Amino acid sequence: MGIRTLIGMLVAAVAVIAAMATQEAYRLFLPGLLQGAVLTIEIAILGSLLAIVMGVFAALARLYGPAPVRWLATVYVEIFRGTSALVQLFWLFFVLPQFGVSLDAFLVAVVALGLNVGAYGSEVVRGAILSVARGQWEACTALNMSRAQMLRRIILPQAFVAMIPPWGNLFIELLKSTALVSLITLSDLAFKAQQMNQNTFKTIPIFTLVLLMYLAMSLVLTIGMRLLERRASLGLARGRAG
Amino acid sequence: MWDWAFTWEILPVLANAAILSIEATLIGFVLAATLGLVLAVVRIAVPRTAWTISVLVELIRSTPLLIQIFFLYFVFPKFGVVLDAFTAGVLAIGIHYAAYCSEVYRAGFDNIHRGQWEASIALNLSAWTTFRDIIIPQAIPPIVPALGNYLVALFKETPLLSAIAVMELMQAAKIIGSETFRYTEPMTLVGLFFLAMSLVSAALIRSLERLLNRRTMR
């Protein structure tokens, strides 16, 4: 979908939310929902940062680590990709305390979602690194670069461009997964919606607003990643032309 | 820490619940694959609908499945249609993944050589015949692995049904946990079950991919 359409959708979503805010029936719910949205955004941002760190480390460990590190990274990736995010969330929330490690719900949310998306991200990073043209690697060897130099100066800057679109999808997955944290007692946007729904039974206005709010957040993310992609691929003879 | 006697005791309960999880997966996926195909075909066959469908797909893909499940579960009764939790949940999962599947089909259709479409027009085939006899038989095999990946992803979303109290695997584990105050065994078993299923299906998809590659190689 073109970036113009996406921006159009974002404007429309925000306009509908604003129009709803002028109605008495909807205005009631906005402060609480916005409060929830702030928590959702906090978890999404911190989770994404953790996901990037885990993704890069796991990918490098699987590509260049000594055997034990490689296995460890593979086990991490398989476990977090093979089980469902909700199971991971519940496991960290309910089971970990029985082993004497008690994290508060917010930390559990960030860690679980970050590790989950990080596992998918590591495959993205690995794929992007391996997709850099062979000539580039050979040229680095010919120039007698160390592995660190090669990665930092030649390979990663090129791999970065290929990583942007898939990471954009992962960030959206993470944003959507934050709705799960409502099930471990955190009062995020989904939790507030549930709570208000139980108190007022005004299901349609509440959930319409909430869906629009999630849509607006996803669209901001999508548009941001598109712009980043356009910027990063400037001057590179690959990828879509901006 | 880990109580084996307790593990054996809860295993049958969880196994029973796992059957419902798998049922939800299969029904949800049939729904997603069919509805996704319909969306993708209509989008091409009736160009006027293309914009509406792409906005709809974007809407569904940009909002959390959990909210969509709540929405269907709570909103339908307002219109006098009372769906039980299982139906509402599976319907929501099916629609959510139909949006993803329709993009997969679209990629499959886009990969069909233009000459095939042109030849169909030249032979005066109807849109229906073109899709049924020319396009779909060529477009589906290459995208089977991608659809398989969504089947696994869909399976991993079924624990969300526990949020509307469907007695699937996660809900069973939660109930055992809250009754006995032991979460370690049920939660870990649920995790292991998903891990095992995912690894097996990943292997199956890989071999299917190899098989299809061999068949379509010319």
Chain segment B122-164, per-residue pLDDT in tens: 999 998 999 999 999 999 888 998 999 999 999 999 999 999 9
- Joined together, the tokens standing for residue A160 give 């970065």
Nearest CA in chain B to A176: B64
Contacts 24+ apart (CB under 8 A), B187-193: B187/A87, B187/A90, B187/A91, B187/A94, B187/A95, B188/A91, B188/A95, B189/B7, B189/B10, B189/B11, B189/B14, B190/A87, B190/B14, B190/B159, B191/A83, B191/A87, B191/A88, B191/A91, B193/B14, B193/B18, B193/B169
What pLDDT score was predicted for residue A100? Answer: 86
What pLDDT score was predicted for residue B30? Answer: 97
B67 closest CB neighbour out of A78, A183, A193: A193
Q: Smallest CA–CA separation between B20 and chain A, in Å? A: 16
CATH code (residue B102): 1.10.3720.10
User: For A180-217, how does the pLDDT look when each residue is reduced to its tens digit (9 = 90+)?
Assistant: 999 998 999 999 999 999 998 888 889 999 999 999 99
Confidence of residue B216 (pLDDT cuts 50, 70, 90): low
Average pLDDT over residues B107-124: 93
- By C-alpha distance, which of B131, B79, B80 is closest to B109? B131
Query: Structural domain of residue A27, as residue ranges?
Result: 3-232
- Joined together, the tokens standing for residue B159 give 């624990």
Q: Is A239 inside a domain boundary?
A: no
Whether the pLDDT of residue A41 is over 60: the answer is yes
Angle between helical axes of B4-45 and B85-110 (0-180°, round to 10)? 50
Confidence of residue A239 (pLDDT cuts 50, 70, 90): very low
What pLDDT score was predicted for residue A237? Answer: 56
Number of domains in chain A: 1
What pLDDT score was predicted for residue A105? Answer: 95
User: For B193-209, how does the pLDDT look when each residue is reduced to its tens digit (9 = 90+)?
Assistant: 999 999 999 899 989 88
Whether the pLDDT of residue B190 is over 80: the answer is yes
Whether the pLDDT of residue A242 is over 80: the answer is no
pLDDT mean across residues, chain B: 92
- Joined together, the tokens standing for residue A4 give 């113009």
A1 closest CB neighbour out of B54, B67, B68: B54
8 Å CB contact between B198 and B156: yes
Confidence of residue B20 (pLDDT cuts 50, 70, 90): very high
Rounded Cα–Cα distance for residues A23 and A70 (Å): 57
Rounded Cα–Cα distance for residues B25 and A103 (Å): 32
Q: How many residues does chain B have?
A: 218
What pLDDT score was predicted for residue A236? Answer: 66
CATH code (residue A20): 1.10.3720.10
Give the number of other CB atoms < 10 A from CB of residue B126.
9
Give the number of other CB atoms < 10 A from CB of residue A211.
20
Rounded Cα–Cα distance for residues B75 and A205 (Å): 10
pLDDT mean across residues, chain A: 92
Angle between helical axes of B65-75 and A189-200 (0-180°, round to 10)? 10
Who contacts B160 (Cβ-Cβ below 8 Å, separation ≥6)? Answer: A86, A180, B65, B66, B69, B89, B93
Mutate one of B7, B54, B70, B164 to test the A interface: name it (highest A CB count within 10 A): B70
User: For B58-97, how does the pLDDT look when each residue is reduced to its tens digit (9 = 90+)?
Assistant: 999 999 999 999 999 998 888 888 889 999 999 999 999 9
8 Å CB contact between A215 and A189: no
Whether residue A94 lies within 8 A of chain B, CB to CB, comes out as yes
Give the number of other CB atoms < 10 A from CB of residue A228.
16
Rounded Cα–Cα distance for residues A86 and B158 (Å): 10
Which DSSP letter does residue B182 get?
-
Q: Is A241 inside a domain boundary?
A: no
Q: Say yes or no for a CB contact (<8 Å) between B190 and A87.
A: yes
Q: Smallest CA–CA separation between A29 and chain B, in Å? A: 16
Rounded Cα–Cα distance for residues B148 and B140 (Å): 12
Average pLDDT over residues B24-46: 95
8 Å CB contact between B14 and B132: no
Whether the pLDDT of residue B217 is over 60: the answer is no
User: What three-state secondary structure class fits A1?
Assistant: coil
A42 or B206, which is more confident? A42
Whether the pLDDT of residue B52 is over 80: the answer is yes
- Joined together, the tokens standing for residue B111 give 């990969």
Rounded Cα–Cα distance for residues A41 and A54 (Å): 20
A17: chain B residues, CB-CB within 8 Å: none
User: For A87-142, how does the pLDDT look when each residue is reduced to its tens digit (9 = 90+)?
Assistant: 999 999 999 988 888 889 999 999 999 999 999 999 999 999 999 999 999 999 99
Which DSSP letter does residue A120 get?
H
Whether the pLDDT of residue B218 is over 70: the answer is no
Whether the pLDDT of residue A49 is over 90: the answer is yes
Cα A5 off chain centre by: 22
Number of domains in chain B: 1
Q: Could you give the ipTM of this predicted complex?
A: 0.89
Range in A23-27, A44-48, A119-123 with the lowest mean pLDDT? A23-27
Direct distance between the N- and C-terminal alpha carbons of chain A, in angstroms, rounded to an integer: 14
The amino acid occupying position A84 is S
Q: Say yes or no for a CB contact (<8 Å) between A90 and B59.
A: no
CA atoms within 13 A on the CB side of B166: 27
What pLDDT score was predicted for residue A91? Answer: 95
Whether residue B188 lies within 8 A of chain A, CB to CB, comes out as yes
- By C-alpha distance, which of B180, B155, B159, B179 is closest to B171? B159
Query: Structural domain of residue B108, as residue ranges?
Result: 4-216
Q: Is A238 inside a domain boundary?
A: no
Whether residue B63 lies within 8 A of chain A, CB to CB, comes out as yes
- Percent of chain B whose predicted confidence (pLDDT) is above 90: 80
Rounded Cα–Cα distance for residues B71 and B80 (Å): 14
CA atoms within 13 A on the CB side of A159: 24
8 Å CB contact between A145 and A130: no
